[in-house]
Structure 1
Amino acid sequence: MIARNLSSEMKRAIVGGTIGTVIEWYDFAAYGFLAAILGKVFFPSQNPTVSLLASFATFGVAFFMRPIGGILFGSLGDRFGRRSAFTWSIILMSCLTFLIGCLPTYASIGIAAPALLVLLRLLQALCAGGELTGAYTFVGEYASTKRRGYESSWTEAGAISGFLLGSLCAFVLSATLSQSELVAWGWRIPFWCAAPLGAVGVYLRMRMGESPAFEVMKEKGLIVSAPIGEAVRYSRVPLFQAFGIAIYQNVGIYIILTYMPTYFTTQLHFSQMQSMLSSVISMALAILFMPIAGAWSDRVGRRRVLGWSCGIALVLTYPLFLLMSQHNFGLALLAHVATSILVGIFLGPIPATMAELFPTNIRYGGMSLAYNISVAVFGGFAPFIATYLIASTKNPLSPSYYVIGSAVLTLITLASMVETSRTPLKENANAVPSMPLGMDEGMSSVEEGSE
């Protein structure tokens, strides 16, 4: 629950900004948690691994559209306003997800079924490219200087809540339907649920005002006609830094939170119910730690919280995967919870950190470009890579290497960054960088209004 001491305006910004991330990640989670079922429905094969790989490949290919969507919606958001851009993203995302639930199967129309699935996934990813970073931007610009980490962390908590909602839906389906019923029609239900969720999201978004920082920027005439080009020209270092810190973020999300139900059933040989139970508990605890970590970063700095969580993950990921493989559900659950909490702690300060890297007039576009390229390269194919690594090495612990490698790259990125917590947001791409922690902590007029 959002803290009571936040202003009503800040609460509305958080709820309005977060609702879309819930729906976006629910939509993606629905596919991830049903990957094994969808493999049978759309990619039937005598070899279950081939079906699963085909299903995850479809999941991953769609992510190449994310940067294009980031450029499109990010540019619209920087030129015409944050609210309109990510309201349209939620409308289109919900409609496309509903249509996936209406698709005929391979048994009905043959190869056209997986072709239509891939097309809808591509369009879905295009819309998703502007949603999460739009929420980062919108809430970050409403947030106060001293509590931006905490207040912005709710957007990421909303995203993982979407994962949790998707896993709960899959858990209920697994508990109430047989395997044959899931394959026949049960898999459609989570996708159909996107329509009412989307309607709620659009209603809440339409009641929001525009970001005050965007309004000030508009009044000062700082809006640029080509924000992506401006970002590449003036903010190359922040672009690379946003790309780098998103590496562990995305690998952690898509290995620890999305791929784990499949890993529990196909590699650890636990039941569908056990795998879903583990996911529900792990994600709930990860969400709990996000605002705590966000608030912590307001006190000790973003780099310190991100660095410690990433460093501990570097050391503990392999031992925790080893603990999972002991054929004991209690130990596997404990290990899954531990890895998820580490990811949750890392995710808490991320929204504020991303927003603080970029100036207002290119924030949405620059962040969307960098983040979504990182998602496409490291996140979307994470489940596919994990499945392939296990199949090729015959080592069920091999996905841990991918997580460890991502932690190393993100730690290198963090070493190149200066601390940005408790500093005013920059207004334009030519602005002097924010002053370091310990110097003037005066807020801009926009931020004063959100205290």
Structure 2
Amino acid sequence: MDSSIDDAEPARQPTLNRSDVKTLGLSALGGTLEYYDFVIYVFFASVIGKLFFPAHMSDGLRDLQTFGIFAAGYLARPVGGAIFGHFADRFGRKRMFTLSILLMACPTLLIACLPTYESIGMAAPVLLLLMRLLQGIAVGGELTGAWVFVGEHAPPRHYGFSLGVLTAGLNGGIVLGSIVAYVVHAMWSSAEVQDYAWRLPFALGGVFGMVSVYLRQFLGETPVFKAMQVQRKLTREMPVRTVLREHRGTLLYLGVQIWVLSAAIGVILLLTPVFLQKNYGISASEALSANVIATTAALIGCVVTGWATDRFGARLVMAVGWTGLLISSHVLYAGLPGTPQWVTLHYAMTGFFVGTVVIVPVVGVRAFPAAIRSSGLSFGYNIFYAVFGGLTPMLVSYLLRMDHMAPAHYVAVLCAVGALSAFLPMPGREERAPAMQLA
């Protein structure tokens, strides 16, 4: 592809109309249901470990194997991102956007039907691993595909807000998963959960996915891709080759933001409940209830951050948002163990600033020319997130042995880097049409 060719950015309505609201609503709902499918595994990991591995296996080894299968889904994400991004640039955003959720729904439904180790021996964990790999491929295409799809539909004045609502919907899958897990454990005894009730959330996830596939049939192709088809500006070579040859600086800039995102999500939302229990003696119920509130606050933060980029510009919001996360996370950890009310309040405040992660799609969708946009964002995001998302838990856990404030310090260093990057030249600034330029 000739990089000198301008993007096909057709004129769009200045504000959200009924069609835009429908597109945004269906995209966010589908993302919630698909992410539910991906994360519901972790809420039943202990049950799955007992059912899919030998009874004589030690608890430590069983946990390692169970979470290893869970991690395999993350390792498969770059593969999914490359495949779905490539075909989205060649054949259309909508087709891949719909296919990704179908690929997620099928293995989730099959997990609900898998025989256990007692029935088929070692074939059980192998099949479970295969299902997780398929889920990882699917989610690798869903997240970035959704960002591009909504970003290319959104009116310029509501571009950030639209991506904020979508990202909140995607992360809402975590909240939905925790609610369903709570209901299952509340309605059935431990023996019943291990016998059959653990299958119900996966079956429900399969149904969720099929409903989302149906709903996405009512979405239209993005105006940008339609314009590229009409103007014959679709890339002629493999898009990833163009990304690696002409946009290495863009990938590096996004890599910094994705590293900060991995710390915000991984340390604050996923690992902090564990640290609260193990290192500060806070009960599981108190830690998890505070986490649900913090995650909900993060969803609100996503929407507010997206809206703020439309109003004040991406640079200012990036600097303020990452600085706010630096300060709030430090205050949270410095005041532990505190009272339950204190922990909940400060955890919620920190969760709100986690919503700054919306900066990644706000910058990322605009960073690449339309002809290679899906491939560039999918490749960059999934590669960097696989590396940083995988290293963060191990690195923070190691540092925690030497310093009880290690999680806060780790987040602080990365947030400082993220805030300072707001003063560097942003990728795509010189390439975008006026309606698509970064503030």
Q: What is the TM-score of this pair, normalised by structure 2?
A: 0.86
Alignment of 1:174-193 (within 5 A): 174-193=185-204
Match of residue 274, structure 1, among 286, 292, 309: 286
Return the offset for 1:389: 5.6
Whether the 8 Å contact between 2:16 and 2:158 is mirrored in structure 1 is no
Q: Which residue of 1 aligns with 2:225?
A: 214
Aligned alpha-carbon RMSD (Å): 2.8
1:127 matches 2:135: no
Q: Which amino acid aligns with 1:417?
A: P
Whether the 8 Å contact between 2:254 and 2:380 is mirrored in structure 1 is yes
Tell me the distance in 1 between the aligned counterparts of 2:150 and 2:69.
32
Match of residue 415, structure 2, among 395, 402, 407: 407
Q: Which residue of 1 aligns with 2:5?
A: none
Alignment of 1:293-312 (within 5 A): 293-312=305-324
Whether the 8 Å contact between 1:167 and 1:276 is mirrored in structure 2 is no
Whether the 8 Å contact between 2:319 and 2:420 is mirrored in structure 1 is no
1:334 matches 2:345: yes
Match of residue 148, structure 2, among 137, 145, 150: 137
Alignment: residue pair count: 421
Report which stretch shifted further, 266-275 or 250-259. 266-275
Match of residue 254, structure 2, among 234, 237, 242: 242
Tell me the distance in 2 between the aligned counterparts of 1:325 and 1:35.
27
Q: Which residue of 1 aligns with 2:267?
A: 255
Q: Which amino acid aligns with 1:303?
A: R
Q: Which residue of 2 aligns with 1:200?
A: 211
SS of 1:159's partner is helix
Alignment of 1:51-450 (within 5 A): 51-225=62-236, 226-326=238-338, 328-344=339-355, 346-380=356-390, 382-383=392-393, 386=396, 393=401, 397-411=405-419, 413-418=421-426, 433-434=431-432, 441=434
Q: Deviations over 1:216-253 (max 9, x none)?
A: 01111110132111222222222222222111212322
Alignment of 1:11-90 (within 5 A): 11-42=21-52, 48=59, 50-90=61-101
Tell me the distance in 2 between the aligned counterparts of 1:397 and 1:146.
41
Whether the 8 Å contact between 1:174 and 1:273 is mirrored in structure 2 is no
Q: Which amino acid aligns with 1:335?
A: H
Q: Which amino acid aligns with 2:172?
A: S
Whether the 8 Å contact between 1:171 and 1:277 is mirrored in structure 2 is no
Return the offset for 1:262: 4.2
Report which stretch shifted further, 179-188 or 364-373. 179-188
Report which stretch shifted further, 125-134 or 348-357. 348-357
Tell me the distance in 2 between the aligned counterparts of 1:197 and 1:301.
36
Q: What is the TM-score of this pair, normalised by structure 1?
A: 0.84
Return the offset for 1:386: 5.0
Tell me the distance in 1 between the aligned counterparts of 2:361 and 2:136.
20
Whether the 8 Å contact between 2:16 and 2:155 is mirrored in structure 1 is no
Structure 1 pair 399–296 and aligned structure 2 pair: CA distance change class (3 A): same
Q: Which residue of 1 aligns with 2:12?
A: none
Tell me the distance in 2 between the aligned counterparts of 1:406 and 1:187.
38
Q: Which residue of 2 aligns with 1:428?
A: none
Whether the 8 Å contact between 2:109 and 2:206 is mirrored in structure 1 is yes
Return the offset for 1:183: 3.6
Return the offset for 1:360: 0.7
Tell me the distance in 1 between the aligned counterparts of 2:375 and 2:206.
27
Return the offset for 1:86: 1.5
Unaligned runs of 5+ in 2: 1-14
Tell me the distance in 2 between the aligned counterparts of 1:303 and 1:162.
29
Whether the 8 Å contact between 1:173 and 1:186 is mirrored in structure 2 is yes
Q: Which residue of 1 aligns with 2:19?
A: 9
Tell me the distance in 2 between the aligned counterparts of 1:40 and 1:405.
39
Return the offset for 1:174: 3.2
Structure 1 pair 58–280 and aligned structure 2 pair: CA distance change class (3 A): same
Tell me the distance in 2 between the aligned counterparts of 1:54 and 1:383.
16
Report which stretch shifted further, 331-340 or 33-42. 33-42
Tell me the distance in 2 between the aligned counterparts of 1:383 and 1:178.
32
Structure 1 pair 306–235 and aligned structure 2 pair: CA distance change class (3 A): same
Structure 1 pair 113–191 and aligned structure 2 pair: CA distance change class (3 A): same
Q: Which amino acid aligns with 2:266?
A: Y
Structure 1 pair 294–442 and aligned structure 2 pair: CA distance change class (3 A): closer
Unaligned runs of 5+ in 1: 424-431, 436-440, 445-451
SS of 1:337's partner is helix
Identity of aligned residues (%): 33
Tell me the distance in 2 between the aligned counterparts of 1:64 and 1:244.
19
Return the offset for 1:75: 0.5
SS of 2:34's partner is helix
Tell me the distance in 1 between the aligned counterparts of 2:34 and 2:153.
21
Tell me the distance in 2 between the aligned counterparts of 1:101 and 1:21.
21
Whether the 8 Å contact between 1:174 and 1:272 is mirrored in structure 2 is no
